[in-house]
Amino acid sequence: MAKHWKTKLIHSDVKVPQGFRSLTVPIYRGSTTLFPDAAAVTDDWDQYEAGYTYGLYGTPTTLELASRICELEQGYRTIITPGGQGAISLIKLALLRAGDHVLVPESIYGPNRKFANDVLRRFGVETSFYSPDIGNGIAEVIQANTRLIWCESPGSITMEVQDVPAIAQAAHRAGVLLVIDNTWSAGVYFDAFAHGADVTMQALTKYVGGHSDLLLGSATTKDKAIYERLGATHQLLGCAASPDDCSLALRGMKTLAVRLEKIEASALSIARWLAERAEVENVLHPALPSCPGHELWKRDFTGSAGVFSIVLKPKFSKQQVYAFVNSLELFKIGHSWGGVTSLAVAYDFTHYKGRPEYQHRIVRLNIGLEEGDDLISDLAQAFDLMKNA
């Protein structure tokens, strides 16, 4: 058929050489995916079963990332979401219904708490918050309508390590599912499924991305029936992850091991140096005995990440804590972590039920890939300036 040049813009006849073999996963973008014939048209979300039906459910780039996260965490299937918070809301919306009850630790990631108190409550799901050191005691707070127990270990900012196997055992005895936010361990330093989790999630935004330039999340399960509930809800929520971002995350994965190794060593030496400082009351680093749940970390984890907190001595005012953070030069101030840049954020827990004793004196650090000695010098000069503030 002869074609006008304007038609050729859409239906070209050009041929390029085939057989390009690259080391990178191609970025497949696409909403429409083509069907071979009229009868083949379907709208199935499970691309592993149905083949590709629509870009919303993932292109080969998305599925490559999903499969690789699943391989690392040793699950059955992984679903990629547009952020870690997206994975949290997907899991809850997929697994809960009106009348259900959820147990969440006080040390939970803040927006996870808000999702429970704002969105889930509006849809008739109630949440109770438990102390992260509850262990076996979780059995006493499981209600007849409890459907799901959430763990996050270590907790966000306050860093308590949880007895996940004990909580999982109590959960399963009561027929309750256990979900864990495994972001801190990057899905590798804590084997969630071996410790009893039914579903794991990660903010891939953090260590898998690794460069502060993308937002992605993952929800992984070992159970086919749970995967089907997650997938069916994911389809209807309509939250597709960008294949471009998935490509960046796939690149991040290639250097995950070396970044984690360097960050672990650097964070440990900085945490130990901080523990000796007169300004510091406590170092909340799971690999240090001063961290609540340290013994559980030793028992259950195979490594430590680069995020931990310090609590400054009671004599320091909020203005002085701010002065400490503001005086840091290499450490920048900002949300999120797991990138190559060190970060510091001050929190005020005076009115926070979980750990009011930390008051305004808790500062969370993210250790990046700068030279450890330079980061220590930076912290030392900021302590000096804090005292004069």
Is the Cβ–Cβ distance between 366 and 307 less than 8 Å? yes
Is the CB of 183 or the CB of 242 nearer to ligand PLP?
183
Distance CA 294, CA 279 (A): 22
Give me the least distance between CB of 185 and ligand PLP, in Å please.
10
- Closest residue to bound ligand PLP by CB: 84
Task: Find all residues with CB under 8 Å of 105, minimum gap 6, and list them.
Answer: 129, 130, 131, 132, 134, 150, 151, 152, 155, 160, 162
Give me the least distance between CB of 8 and ligand PLP, in Å please.
42
Is the CB of 215 or the CB of 246 nearer to ligand PLP?
215
Distance CA 163, CA 132 (A): 8
Give me the least distance between CB of 335 and ligand PLP, in Å please.
8
Is the CB of 96 or the CB of 214 nearer to ligand PLP?
214
Give me the least distance between CB of 129 and ligand PLP, in Å please.
16
Chain length of the chain? 389
Is the CB of 181 or the CB of 198 nearer to ligand PLP?
181
Give me the least distance between CB of 324 and ligand PLP, in Å please.
22
Pairing of strands 343-347, 362-366: antiparallel
Lookup: tokens for 99 = 């009348």
H-type alpha helices, the chain: 5-8, 47-50, 60-73, 84-95, 110-114, 121-122, 164-173, 224-237, 243-254, 256-275, 294-300, 318-327, 372-388
- Catalog residues that contact ligand PLP under the rule CB under 6 A: 83-85, 109, 152, 156, 181, 183, 203, 205-206, 215, 217, 336
Is the CB of 206 or the CB of 294 nearer to ligand PLP?
206
Is the CB of 305 or the CB of 386 nearer to ligand PLP?
305
Give me the least distance between CB of 384 and ligand PLP, in Å please.
31
Half-sphere exposure of 330 (CA within 13 A, CB side): 20
